[in-house]
């Protein structure tokens, strides 16, 4: 079953918060990696990601970020590698950025 994903955008702070419906069950902690703030739910799973400097990191205007057609929250774990990302779509315009953690290394890469 697909998870319901939603988002909130703050013009003043230029942050987008993309989250799954599981966030309603509560957040027990937050992990910050670069411009990513990762919400950890009660079951120790990622339930949301807030991206600071969103317009810069996604290379999208604030208008697009405030009213996207679709947002995506991507979380994948492969062994000791955790891949987390957010995607934003508005009409034919789309952008994606992610952060990957592996052991003690953390890499942040925008993908256009």
Q: Is residue 44 over pLDDT 50? A: yes
* Helix, strand, coil percentages for the chain (3-state, nearest 5): 15, 60, 25
Q: What is the pLDDT of residue 109?
A: 43
> Average pLDDT for residues 21-49, to the nearest whole number?
93
Please report how many Cα atoms fall inside a 13 Å half-sphere around the Cα of residue 31, on the Cβ side. Answer: 15
- 10-26 pLDDT tens trace: 999 999 999 999 999 99
Q: What is the pLDDT of residue 82?
A: 87
Q: What is the pLDDT of residue 28?
A: 94
In three-state secondary structure terms, 77 is: strand
Element (H, E) at 64: helix 62-66
Q: What is the pLDDT of residue 78?
A: 87
> Average pLDDT for residues 37-44, to the nearest whole number?
92
Residues in the chain: 112
- 53-112 pLDDT tens trace: 999 999 999 999 999 999 999 999 888 888 999 999 999 999 999 998 875 544 444 443
- Torsion angle of C-alpha atoms 17, 30, 4, 84, degrees rounded to 10: 80
Q: For all residues of the chain together, what is the average pLDDT?
A: 89
Q: What is the pLDDT of residue 89?
A: 96
């Amino acid at each position: 079953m697909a998870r319901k994903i939603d988002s909130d955008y703050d013009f003043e702070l230029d942050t987008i918060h993309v989250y799954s419906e599981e966030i309603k069950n509560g957040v027990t902690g937050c992990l910050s990696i670069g411009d990513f703030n990762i919400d950890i739910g009660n079951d120790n799973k990622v339930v949301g990601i807030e991206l600071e400097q969103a317009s810069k990191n996604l290379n999208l205007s604030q208008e697009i970020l405030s009213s996207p057609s679709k947002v995506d929250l991507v979380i994948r774990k492969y062994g000791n590698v955790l891949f987390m990302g957010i995607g934003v779509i508005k009409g034919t315009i789309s952008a994606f950025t992610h952060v990957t953690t592996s052991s003690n290394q953390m890499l942040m890469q925008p993908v256009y």
